[in-house]
Amino acid sequence: MKKNFKLTLEYDGTEYSGWQVQNNSPTIQGEIENALGLMLDQPIRIWGSGRTDAGVHALAQVANFQASTSMGQSQLKKGLNSLLKGPIVVHECTEVDEAFHARYNAREKEYHYFFLNRELPCAVGRNFVWHIRHPLKIDAMEECCRIITGTHDFKAFEGAGSPRSTTVRTLFLAGFEKTAKDRFYFKIRGNGFLRFMVRNIVGTLVLAGAGKITPIDFRKILQGRDRSLAGPTAPAKGLFLMKVSY
């Protein structure tokens, strides 16, 4: 009889081509499936709560897999961490009900996007922030955040190739938190996200922070449902999947 296991994962996505398995490219899913296959001597398929893109990080990605094994959850966690090492760490491994699915049972996801806003870049931690030299007006960006909070059609912020039946999503929270004089992060929580949606929103918020568009312009972009009207896609390296709720 197969058991169903839930994993909570932390990873540095810098050297990976995203979550989803790809031919001839290292991915988070591929690394974990290879390690589990080696441990359990059987082909394993894991399902993540979402497909983080190339270069995106996670502090609490959730995944699940099914396997025929006598191993317990603590043995699996220890074995995975000994094989994975470095950029991928398993924080939790729990046996769950057979009906649990990391993607389809997820109710909310929270992402943080980190900024370094000063003239000089950083050497340590440069793979985890978007360095922007010119000053940003956080109050204008906060005003734009209030516009997108709630249920809206986010087609204007959708990347090409989104696997979706609708572009309507609900954002429960969107705003900024300052952590130091020159550092802050954007926090966003919703019931689901389109491909590149968070990074496209961030890229457009930065235009507002730089004074290149107004909050009124931002509202028109949202309502226009046209990706070409919105700002550039923010770099992947500043984005972290922080939490998945079930």
Render pLDDT for 177-219 as a digit per residue (tens, 0 to 9): 999 999 999 999 999 999 999 999 999 999 999 999 999 999 9
Task: Name the DSSP class of 22.
Answer: B
Angle at 185 between CA 157 and CA 232, to 5 degrees: 30
Rounded to 10°, the helix 197-209/215-224 angle is 150
Query: Can you tell me the distance from the alpha carbon of 204 to that of 233, in angstroms, rounded to the nearest whole number?
Result: 8
- Does residue 102 fall inside a structural domain? no
67 and 174 belong to one structural domain:
no
29 and 129 belong to one structural domain:
no
CB 158, CB 194: distance < 8 Å: yes
Name the residue type at position 135: P
120 and 229 belong to one structural domain:
yes
Q: How many domains does the chain have?
A: 2
The beta strand positions in the chain, using DSSP E, are 3-11, 46-48, 57-67, 88-96, 108-117, 130-132, 150-153, 168-180, 183-190, 239-245
- Does residue 101 fall inside a structural domain? no
124 and 236 belong to one structural domain:
yes
- Does residue 124 fall inside a structural domain? yes
**Cα Rg for the chain, rounded, in angstroms?**
19
Name the residue type at position 155: K
235 and 120 belong to one structural domain:
yes
User: What is the CATH number for 92?
Assistant: 3.30.70.580
- The catalytic position among 12, 53, 139, 153 is 53
Count the Cβ atoms, other than its own, within 10 Å of residue 4: 16
- Reported as a single tens digit per residue, the pLDDT across 21-80 is 998 899 999 999 999 999 999 999 999 999 999 999 999 999 999 999 999 999 999 999
- Reported as a single tens digit per residue, the pLDDT across 84-116 is 988 999 999 999 999 999 999 999 999 999 999
Query: Can you tell me the distance from the alpha carbon of 246 to that of 234, in angstroms, rounded to the nearest whole number?
Result: 28
213 and 236 belong to one structural domain:
yes
- Does residue 103 fall inside a structural domain? no
- Does residue 50 fall inside a structural domain? yes
User: What is the CATH number for 235?
Assistant: 3.30.70.660
38 and 139 belong to one structural domain:
no
Residues 6+ apart with CB under 8 A from 146: 174
Q: Is 97 a catalytic residue?
A: no
**The pLDDT of residue 162:** 64
Three-state DSSP class for 36?
A: helix
Task: With a cut of 90, say whether residue 161 has pLDDT above it.
Answer: no
- Does residue 171 fall inside a structural domain? yes
- Out of 70, 96, 122, a domain closes at 96
Which residues are bridge partners to 129 per DSSP?
A: none
The two tokens of residue 162 are 């989104």
- Reported as a single tens digit per residue, the pLDDT across 109-153 is 999 999 999 999 999 999 999 999 999 999 999 999 999 999 999
Q: Which domain holds residue 158?
A: 108-245
To 10 degrees, the CA torsion angle through 138, 171, 226, 235? Answer: 60
